[in-house]
């Protein structure tokens, strides 16, 4: 493509806001049906443009005034999109009519360069075969034991010593970065059998982590583009975020391919490992598929748990009474066993689990998830679906629906997860009301593993340390929904050792 053609395209793009205003003036009365103001030809792109920096709140506001908690978005340059916070619709999409709602080509195209044909970017028979293999691996007792051993080593031999050192020096640290590095260490050891050893924040992050973050950010920019042709042109010209994506994915592939070849040499030498990559290779999976599967596991395990833990500790600094409740639960466990926490100790910490559930209700690690309709359909609430429509269920908005959580839906109240307000038995909440880990055939295989990891990390910190927001952390943090959500600017904290730790 010549430079003059590119200049023409960019010039036309810059005129879009003016075109929107002209059309808006011409059509003084937009068509509205429980959604944003919508005009002929351009759809709701004017409102979308005005709200592009606050889409989460905009969608949530629109959903809350829709009688069925469902809205339809049509805009120039994008496919028709149905966004729902209706549990009946969510169950229908994720379970009842699952086969009509695959991720679809439009979704897999956006993430294809990054995730390849891994399980989180696959549909049909390819997804089914990967799911069957992964389900077998995740249910294996040996993997669960291996995961807990990795957790114990990372926390007792790396995280705790680092926090002790930080407490003594009084330095301010970014808790979000700390949790991200910890999560990356753990998921690399579990998925790849590779130890990046990146927990010390005084050292620069390892190249694989940097490449992974860059690839995720560039892929998220693709998905958020108001007009999809823009990123496709940038990819064709190898410029900007698309060039960054290509370079980052190339670096990731080189690193993981080297690990794959090393695992094969170890296997020939009689070695035996429990990590997921080794299990996939032992099952006969080819190198490229194993690499893409490993990338999917890294994506799922790196930022989701770190995001939940970051928001949990921020919420605890705002609700010290809740923190006291967790410490009380930890004290009971410590009184029974004067040793490191074991698997059963962690599993039985229901109040801590309720705090994590409440955190992810308000700040879900994945704010929204989309499928694409394979054929024309009708959702349970009466919304018509056309073939090719993007159908999005919206955990962030669902956590803020009064119909689902009551008038105190915006409050952090872990006791809402118990049958009785003072604790006891935890409520069984439908995964279609709370689809944080998806539901139906695609329900997250690592759900149990994620809770064990988050509970172990949180309990280990709260047993020995107090976390205080640093002086610079004054404002309410901003929730940013990329491929996985994060806290804008990080979470700056001071760490203090408790005078009487629970160990």
CA nearest neighbour of 297 among 312, 285, 309: 285
Report CA-CA distances (Å) from 445 to 23, 135, 342, 363.
48, 7, 22, 21
Q: With beta carbons less than 8 A apart as the criterion, state whether 357 and 434 touch.
A: yes
Separation CA 328–CA 422 (nearest Å)? 13
User: What is the rounded distance in angstroms from the CA atom of residue 22 to the CA atom of residue 29?
Assistant: 13
CATH topology of domain 77-497: Cytochrome p450 (1.10.630)
For the chain, 503 residues long, give each residue's pLDDT as a single digit of tens: 444 444 444 444 455 555 544 444 444 444 445 789 888 889 898 898 899 889 999 999 999 999 999 999 998 878 899 999 999 999 999 999 999 999 998 888 999 999 999 998 999 999 999 999 899 888 888 888 999 999 999 999 999 999 999 999 999 999 999 999 999 999 999 999 999 999 888 888 889 999 999 999 999 888 877 677 889 999 999 999 999 999 999 999 999 999 999 999 998 888 788 899 999 999 899 999 999 999 999 988 888 999 999 999 999 999 999 999 999 999 887 655 556 788 888 989 999 999 999 999 999 999 999 999 999 999 999 999 999 999 999 999 999 999 999 999 999 999 999 998 777 899 999 999 999 999 999 999 999 999 999 999 999 999 999 999 998 777 889 999 888 899 999 999 999 999 877 76
| Beta partners for residue 43, in sequence order | 39, 75
Q: What is the dihedral of CA 457, 462, 464, 466, to 10 degrees?
A: 120
Long-range contacts of 320-325 (CB under 8 A, 24+ apart): 322/355, 322/412, 322/414, 323/462, 325/351, 325/414
This prediction has a pTM of 0.90
pLDDT at 53: 86
pLDDT at 27: 42
Which structure tokens are listed for 4? Answer: 């003059």
Residue with the two structure tokens 């793009």: 13
Q: For residue 185, is it left (φ>0), alpha (ψ between -120 and 50) or beta?
A: alpha
Question: Which residues lie closer than 8 Å to 469 by C-beta, 6 or more apart?
Answer: 314, 317, 491, 492, 493, 494
> pLDDT value at position 437?
95
**pLDDT at 337 (0 to 100):** 54
Q: Are strands 390-393 and 81-84 parallel, antiparallel or unpaired?
A: parallel
DSSP state of 202: T
Cα distance between residue 372 and residue 392, in whole Å: 8
């Amino acid at each position: 493509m010549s430079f003059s053609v590119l200049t023409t395209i960019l010039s036309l793009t810059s005129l879009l806001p003016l075109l929107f205003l002209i059309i808006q003036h011409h059509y003084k009365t937009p068509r509205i049906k429980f959604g944003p103001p919508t005009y002929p030809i351009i759809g709701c792109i004017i409102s979308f443009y005005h709200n592009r920096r606050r889409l989460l709140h905009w969608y949530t506001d629109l959903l809350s005034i829709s009688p069925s908690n469902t809205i339809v978005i049509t805009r120039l340059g994008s496919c028709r999109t149905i966004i729902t916070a209706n549990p009946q619709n969510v169950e229908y999409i994720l379970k009842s009519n699952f086969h009509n709602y695959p991720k679809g080509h439009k979704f897999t195209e956006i993430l294809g360069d990054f995730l390849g044909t891994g399980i989180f970017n696959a549909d049909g028979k390819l997804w089914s075969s990967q799911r069957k293999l992964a389900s077998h691996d995740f249910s294996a007792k040996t993997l669960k034991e291996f995961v807990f051993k990795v957790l114990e080593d990372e926390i007792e031999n790396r995280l705790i010593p680092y926090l002790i050192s930080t407490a003594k020096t009084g330095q301010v640290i970014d808790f979000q970065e700390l949790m991200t590095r910890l999560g990356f260490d753990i998921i690399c050891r579990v998925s790849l059998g590779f130890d990046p050893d990146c927990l010390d924040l005084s050292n620069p992050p390892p190249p694989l982590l940097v490449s992974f973050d860059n690839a995720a950010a560039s892929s998220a920019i693709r998905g958020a583009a108001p007009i999809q042709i823009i990123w496709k042109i940038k990819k064709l010209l190898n410029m900007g975020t698309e060039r960054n994506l290509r370079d980052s994915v190339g670096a990731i592939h080189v690193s993981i391919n080297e690990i794959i070849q090393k695992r094969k040499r170890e296997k020939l030498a009689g070695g035996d490992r429990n990590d997921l990559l080794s299990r996939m290779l032992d099952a006969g999976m080819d190198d490229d598929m194993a690499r893409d599967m490993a990338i999917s596991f890294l994506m799922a395990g790196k930022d989701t748990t770190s995001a939940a833990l970051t928001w949990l500790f921020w919420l605890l600094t705002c609700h010290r009474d809740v923190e006291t409740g967790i410490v009380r639960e930890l004290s009971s466990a410590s009184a029974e066993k004067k040793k490191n926490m074991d698997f059963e100790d962690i599993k039985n910490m229901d109040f801590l689990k309720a705090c994590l559930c409440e955190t992810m209700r308000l700040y879900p690690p994945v704010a929204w998830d989309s499928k694409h309709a394979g054929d024309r359909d009708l959702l349970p609430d009466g919304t018509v679906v056309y073939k090719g429509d993007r159908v999005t269920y919206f955990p962030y908005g669902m956590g803020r629906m009064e119909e689902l959580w009551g008038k105190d839906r915006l409050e952090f109240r872990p006791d809402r997860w118990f049958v009785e307000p003072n604790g006891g038995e935890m409520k069984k909440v439908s995964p279609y009301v709370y689809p944080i880990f998806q539901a139906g055939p695609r329900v997250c295989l690592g759900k149990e593993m994620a809770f064990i990891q988050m509970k172990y990390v949180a309990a280990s910190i709260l047993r020995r340390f107090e976390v205080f927001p640093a002086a610079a952390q004054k404002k309410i943090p901003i929730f940013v929904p990329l491929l996985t959500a994060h806290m804008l600017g990080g979470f700056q904290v001071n760490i203090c050792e408790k005078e009487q730790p629970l160990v």
